[in-house]
Structure 1
């Protein structure tokens, strides 16, 4: 039989971007101090956190210049990941909302999404040892938006190719200081229980639109 040429495309992909921010050691030392001081003086907000401490969503106001650096980097990444319906680059005026999370032994974040935003993301201040010891857990897990997929019928099978391994399940990101990543706000995600004895500290944020570009061209630069 003659060789059959097959054209395979990965349709409906979900973009997730990751970047290592420079000057992480100095930035994280300042942020760790600020966040833990805030935690000592303020009770936790109850959101997705199962245990742990969740700050108010005004981190951009009390977090200082270092939080501003993180959000500026997030907006740059978002601009590179966003286009109009014709595929042309757009540069929206992003609105931002940010908060801090501190997880100790046994703490986690339940599965959730972030309504009212376009991009969401996380920056790691302290991994609590997760980066070098997988036994400590604390991974950030993103759930396949297609649902359980073929795993319901044939759990031993997957789609061919590198991106097919997690079909019907999830992908994880292991925390490490200085790592910033963005994902669509509608993507279900969670933080697995942290089993270390230290503190896992992260900053979460949302990027939204003051107005949709199609409604008012003034949001484009």
Structure 2
């Protein structure tokens, strides 16, 4: 699901300035225990972003959670009173990507929903149509173990292709955490700046045992 932050320019400018400042301040804000290799050209913060007190971060937090709870309520058929009983346990962080930076294929275990918010897409070089693209792998890819004329051109809901998203400033993408995805290398000027988050849920008053 893709949605947009209304009038995001002012908020995104505040977020970008804050994130670039924290990056420049050094190791204190860098993720020192990444679960995946961090390539050159990519800065990954600690996973406590949504606990920061800055108003720009909290406005983004509120927007992301509002949209995610809307999706959860709709897809699960929860009435408002049941939705209000859900509590989110959230990890959130930011990425600053410069020329050549990328993030390889992965998903997010121990979460049910994930999201990516675009603060700045950066300025891609001319002709680099896949620069910084967020790519979702098609979970039906094993169906391609045998290809012949009966399935080689399937489209619509039956396609074996993945999906590419070129994010614009203010875009928010929400997706199931099990879905394999990656970010293609960024070839451009400036920085591609995004916020990512993972959420697991429990009912208020219920046991945390899964």
TM range (shorter): 0.7 to 0.9
Runs of 4+ aligned residues of structure 1 deviating over 4 Å after TM superposition are 83-86, 130-134
Per-residue CA deviation, residues 173-214 of structure 1 (Å, 9 max, x unaligned), is: 1021111110001111100000112210000011211x258x
List alignment gaps of at least 5 residues for structure 1.
Answer: 1-16
Q: Which has the larger radius of gyration?
A: 1
Task: Check if 1:141 corresponds to 2:135.
Answer: yes
Distance 1:175 1:85, change over 3 A: closer
1:50 aligns with 2:46: no
Structure 1, residues 104-140: CA drift from partner, whole Å, max 9, x if none?
Answer: 0000001111111111001111101249965361000
Question: What is the Cα-based RMSD across aligned positions, in Å?
Answer: 2.7
Q: Take 2:140 and 2:108, find their aligned partners in 1: how far apart are those partners?
A: 18
TM-score (norm 1): 0.77
Deviation at 1:100, TM superposition (A): 0.5
Aligned residues of 2:125 and 2:189 also touching (Cα < 8 A): no
Q: TM-score, normalised by structure 2?
A: 0.81
2:5 is matched with 21
In the other structure, the counterpart of 2:170 is: 178
SS in 2 for 1:137: coil
Cα shift at 1:38: 0.8
1:1-221 matches, within 5 Å, as 17-43=1-27, 44-45=30-31, 46-48=34-36, 49-51=38-40, 52-62=42-52, 64-83=54-73, 87-89=77-79, 90-91=82-83, 92-130=86-124, 134-135=128-129, 137-150=131-144, 152-154=146-148, 156-159=152-155, 161=156, 163-164=157-158, 167-209=159-201, 211=202, 216=206
Change (3 A) 1:156 1:88: same
Q: Tell me the alpha carbon deviations over residues 137-171 of structure 1, each in whole angstroms, 9 at most, x when there is no partner.
A: 10001111123423642373214x3x34xx33310
Between the aligned partners of 1:149 and 1:203, the Cα distance in structure 2 is: 33
